[in-house]
A and B are shown apart, each in its own frame.
Chain A
Amino acid sequence: MNAFYASVTQVLEPELKGKPLLIAGDPEKRHGIILTASYEAKKRGVKTGMPIWEAKMHCPQAILRPPNFAAFMDFSNRVFAILRDFSPLVEPFSIDEAFVELTGTEKLWGSPLQAAQAIKKRIKEEVGILCSVGIGPSKVVAKMAAGLQKPDGLTLLTEADIPRRLWPLPIGELFGVGKRMEQHLLNMGIRTIGDLAQTPPKLLRQRFGVVGVTLRELARGQDSSPVNPSSLDTVKSVGHQITLPKDYSLLKEIKVVLLELAEAVSRRARLGNYLGKTVSLSVRGSDFSGIHRSLTLKEATAYPSVIYETALKLFQQHWPQELPVRLLGVSLGNLVRAEGQQLSLFEPEPQLYQAIDRIKNKFGEKSLLRGSFLLEEGVFYEAGKKQDVGRSPHYLS
């Protein structure tokens, strides 16, 4: 979908149509980052991820709106429902992206091009937003094709088109190449997707291992992964992160936030009936430096004490003491289903949290809080006013 958050907001508030619109968080809480800009604002140079003040410099007349995640989710579900009318094999990739396997539907919808046009028409008429469709022989080619024409695009790439259409693109555009990988590849003199496609696989294996070879295959448009409609059903991790309202430098303050995050993460894991073995901590400093560290536990857990202690240990081990903290995140990964888990004696938390969960299910997430969360430094439940902290990790499927 094109400029999805902005498009949805424009459908809900038709008077915003055709105007430069910015969807951004609350600058008061320092969430003032542009999540999406409408195409009218994009034309004037606003980019996703810009702080509000910078966006305003590019486009002073832009209208600001906060994100309405419930509406985004609803629109997303409606679009995906349309896709499922065309093929049972629909793999949601993010809130506004999905893969559809059209092989075998030719007798029903005609050629892929005709099917794509029908899809675009229905989304435009029934949901009211525009999208870019890419058609290709594999998931990676289709995804890259969709990016070639925005907004309201429709691009078909065959195997033979790849060298002409994709290879001249800079290497950073390749699906699967992030900032760091881009730098590594540039350092090796690999500047375009075509360069990577023509690099001997042996060299890439030596430098990056299996990942290098896979990337080269992607650059050649080879991607054997099937369209998997249930890829989101298996949750890999649950996590929460939060930008602090001001920089924290005292361990005392940071401890409160880590405990809040551990409490929220464990609650969500329990709601989905999961236990996790790996605790990860993300920290970003006031200078935007950042770390991401994780530790794998001996036994899987879904309770805050171990998660908190592990996150705190990681923080103390890896974060320089004097550096002010801007953002904190805790996540629980390596998830396993709680069914089939051996119960243990002498652990008070399972029983305690069984009771706590029952209370929270009935009276809401904020019906029962630790005293420390009400301290001035506690932020999560304050910010959580607008966000549903206790949503089950199943909510995407």
Chain B
Amino acid sequence: MKITASKENLLFGVSAVQKAVNAKNTLPILTCIKLEAKGDHLSFTATDLEVGIQCKVPAGVIEEGVCVVPARYFSEIVRKLPDSVITLELIHDGEIIIQYSNSELNLKTMPADEFPQLPVVDGEYKLSIEAGKIKQMVRQTAFACSTDESRPLFTGVLCEIENNEIRMISTDTHRLALKKEYIQNKQKKSFSFIVPAKILTEMARLIQNDEEFCQMNISKNLATFVIENIQIVCRLFDGQFPNYQQVIPSQYTLKVKTKTKLFQEAVERISLFSLDSSSNTIHLKIENNILRLFSQSELGQGYEEIPIAGEGDPVDIAFNYRYLLDVFRVLDEEELTIEFTGPLSPGIIRPVENNNFLYLVLPVRC
């Protein structure tokens, strides 16, 4: 194998596959990146057997071939290379020579035939979505997932496709985010699958161009996502996602409308008094078109009033303020509504100008 490539392209390839390398893996081959020169490009592949990422970058291929390099050293080297044309050459005794200007580095490689093949997914369901859309969907849902590995299902995002609608749902059982979008879909049959949230987040990060399309290929337990030159293969969660529709109240006893920024800033200020307590509780009291936020701790207390437009019964409720702050980070609309059905029932936050997103948050007992 012998190629020439720019530092920029090498760095792009290395960082694209980085997330699939587990430096602590007990199998040494899985701590490596596979480089393959073919045609007019160099491809980078990494996998931890749960997820595999492959990225192709343009390169001048002088001699086609494959080699496997330790990810940690190789990516460090690439990061520190000067901005010039780099030559990579595999020499016969299992070493790769990295040449730049008048210098060269030699790095030991691993046997290429030991590197696992990424599975080829030929699933029942194929789908194509604008990359920008999927990026936004992931941004507005993945944050609400659980990180508790003892209940793996909740560390994943449920994707449902029905006619021309795709929905992503995530929950950690204390709050739930739901986002829908409209897509071109030729498949009559509706289907759903659960993808690990961290893989979706990584995919969203790797999207360079929102105009591109993300090609999905879903089988029973595997999925591939292809965006431009990047391909991600991952395992899907096996299991039944609980019936989320059942927990979203269809009615409310109070609905209020307020400015997102106003509400967000009030929560940020008042929650300062909850920082130290374990429950992170902030109280909300709504009456006569006034939303009163209140919190207290050993350090002090504070309250703030913001005007709202509301209709319905007064409510006195408490939330974990972190769950409120989380949703402000992904809301782009200027105004939002909150629906309540009592102090022990979930509050539902929706942007006013957009009915494709909802965020449900369960209260804290007060």
- Chain A residues within CB distance 8 Å of chain B: 298, 338-347
State how many angstroms separate the Cβ of B342 from the closest Cβ of chain A. 12
Q: Is the CB of B150 within 8 A of A343?
A: no
The interface residues of chain A, by DSSP majority, are classed as loop
Task: Find chain B residues with CB under 8 A from A346 CB.
Answer: 171, 173, 242, 247
Is B362 at the interface (CB under 8 A from chain A)?
yes
Binary contact readout B329-366 vs A (1 if CB under 8 angstroms, 0 otherwise)? 00000000000000010100000000000001011111
Binary contact readout B154-183 vs A (1 if CB under 8 angstroms, 0 otherwise)? 000000000000000001011010000000
Q: Is the CB of B279 within 8 A of A340?
A: yes
State how many angstroms separate the Cβ of A197 from the closest Cβ of chain B. 40
Q: Choose from B171, B174, B362, B366 the contact partner of A339 (Cβ within 8 Å).
A: B366
| Total residue contacts A-B, CB cutoff 8 A | 43
Q: Is the CB of A341 within 8 A of B247?
A: no
Q: Could you list 15 further interchain pairs (A-B, Cβ under 8 angstroms) beyond the known A338-B365, A345-B174?
A: A340-B281, A340-B318, A340-B365, A341-B279, A342-B174, A342-B279, A343-B363, A344-B173, A344-B362, A345-B171, A345-B173, A345-B176, A345-B242, A345-B346, A346-B242
Is B141 at the interface (CB under 8 A from chain A)?
no
Task: Find chain A residues with CB under 8 A from B360 CB.
Answer: 345
Is B31 at the interface (CB under 8 A from chain A)?
no
Beta-carbon nearest neighbor of A275 in chain B:
B365
Q: Is the CB of A345 within 8 A of B362?
A: yes
Task: Find chain B residues with CB under 8 A from A298 CB.
Answer: 148, 150
Q: Measured between alpha carbons, how far is A341 from B320 in the docked complex, in Å?
A: 9
- 4 shortest interchain CB distances as A-B pairs: A346-B242, A343-B362, A340-B279, A344-B173
Q: Is the CB of B247 within 8 A of A342?
A: no
Binary contact readout B132-151 vs A (1 if CB under 8 angstroms, 0 otherwise)? 00000000000000001010
Beta-carbon nearest neighbor of A346 in chain B:
B242
Q: Is the CB of B174 within 8 A of A343?
A: yes
State how many angstroms separate the Cβ of B46 from the closest Cβ of chain A. 33
Beta-carbon nearest neighbor of B246 in chain A:
A346
State how many angstroms separate the Cβ of A273 from the closest Cβ of chain B. 9
Beta-carbon nearest neighbor of A273 in chain B:
B365
With A298-B150, A346-B242, A346-B247 given, is the CB distance from A341 to B174 under 8 Å? no
State how many angstroms separate the Cβ of B141 from the closest Cβ of chain A. 15
Task: Find chain A residues with CB under 8 A from B171 CB.
Answer: 345-346
Can you sample 10 A-B contacts with CB below 8 Å? A340-B281, A340-B364, A341-B364, A342-B364, A343-B362, A343-B365, A344-B173, A345-B360, A346-B171, A346-B247
